[in-house]
Amino acid sequence: MLIFDRRPASHTTIALEGRVSSGLGEGTRFMALDWVQAQCRERLGLAPWPGTFNLAMSGPRWERYRSLLQAAPNDAAAAGPVIALSPPPGFCAANCVALCIAGTLDGYAIVPLLDDYPDDKLEIIAAQPIRSALGLADGDRVTLTMPSAFQIHDAPCALCRPLPREGDRP
């Protein structure tokens, strides 16, 4: 299902649905790393909440979208909706793409580039705790709005409203 997007018509969006699931706490440790915080501020324009919001995803549309996210070049200088987080030695790289959560909250999908990363897992980061901001619990269904194709563009990928900048956290 394609839905309305405020960007030019060449940048359509796709709606994907997932179920809220609890993580293992690894996202909190990862998001607390200095290099992750610095790259999120620099490359995403986001001072992320320490932790990730997890969704269990399924279906052929998700499988196709995930394969595109994983295959996108992990190049910090590349333009387009996929933004790379490039790690120091000993850590895995990740690709990020802007998204809108439940039609109200902006964030980024963060996809670690690991061979053994679960195919059905999607981690999302935002400037605030997503669960409490949206009143969500494990098992709740959530719709995400994401760019439908990886096309080069000049504008940021904010799909709901401008993403909060560092210092905007209440």
List the CATH number of the domain containing 105.
Answer: 2.40.30.30
Residue 4: which pLDDT band, with cuts at 50, 70 and 90?
very low
Residues 79 and 93: their CA atoms lie apart, in Å, by 17
- The answer as to whether 11 is a domain residue is no
Compute CA distances 122 → 11, 70, 99, 170, whole Å.
22, 12, 12, 26
pLDDT, one tens digit per residue, over 102-161 is 999 999 999 888 888 888 999 999 999 999 999 999 999 999 998 875 443 333 444 444
Q: Which two tokens stand for residue 93?
A: 């790289």
Q: What is the dihedral of CA 40, 41, 43, 48, to 10 degrees?
A: 30
Residue 33: which pLDDT band, with cuts at 50, 70 and 90?
confident
Residues 166 and 164: their CA atoms lie apart, in Å, by 7
Residue 12: which pLDDT band, with cuts at 50, 70 and 90?
confident
Domain containing 90 equals 24-147
Whether the Cβ atoms of residue 77 and residue 84 lie closer than 8 Å to each other = no
pTM of the predicted structure, to 2 decimals: 0.76
